Amino acid sequence: MRILYHLPLSPFSRKVRLAMAEKRIPFDLRIERVWERREEFLALNPACTVPVLQDANGMVLADSSAICEYLDEAYPDLPLLGRTLAERAEVRRLVAWFDQKFHSEVTRNLLHERQMKRLLGRGNPDAGAIRAGYANLKPHMDYIGWLAETRAWLGGSSFSLADIAAAAQLSALDYIGDVDWSLSDGAKDWYARIKSRPAFRAILADRLPDLAPPAHYDDLDF
């Protein structure tokens, strides 16, 4: 059986979970508290980060981008990277945008400061970083809204890993109530379509024992 080592609020773990669910690949989830630095997990991934996928063939893959590229090549029936060279280039560009730019400017400043610092024992949240995260959210929401209003999906004419990468970041932030959906009607409408996809059900069912999401988190109509 495939095993995906993850953390519930890790956007990169969510990205892989969504990709596997869209491809209808069965897998078991295993929470990995990376701050404990288990020797068995370090043997799988010396970087001690999630997600890590142990495939049914015994192959072990780390890093969400490497895992998703592998999944699209190993299970090509439902492609998530696009079909043409131009589509694949655009999807990869947007995946990098959300994995790197959105994450560094928004998610890291909000989710990391407000939640992960406490778990990792790295001190108190930085109020300046949190303010920057909220300020940076608006232009990103505007961009998502523009993409959603000018294309069928973010990456082009078909649902792709670009939508998954964006939704993974936003869903983690939405769980802690840090997404102002009034910033962009286009982004909100696009996310409502994402939430309605069967692959998203497990994400919406996530619950942390010490942290409840806002009421709209699993409401398909907000």
Per residue in 49-83, pLDDT tens?
999 999 999 999 999 999 999 999 999 999 999 98
Most distant CA atoms of the chain, gap in Å: 48
Instruction: Name, in order, each residue with C-beta under 8 angstroms of 205's C-beta and a sequence gap of 6 or more.
Output: 218
Locate 78 and state its tokens. 């439902």
At residue 187, the pLDDT reads: 98
At residue 122, the pLDDT reads: 75
What is the C-alpha separation between 53 and 3, in angstroms, rounded? 6
What is the C-alpha separation between 9 and 76, in angstroms, rounded? 28
Report pTM.
0.96
Query: Could you say which residues of the chain have pLDDT below 70?
Result: 119-121
At residue 22, the pLDDT reads: 98
At residue 1, the pLDDT reads: 87
At residue 64, the pLDDT reads: 98
What is the C-alpha separation between 182 and 138, in angstroms, rounded? 10
Residue type, 123: G
Burial-class residue 22 by CB neighbours within 10 Å (0-12, 13-18, 19+).
buried
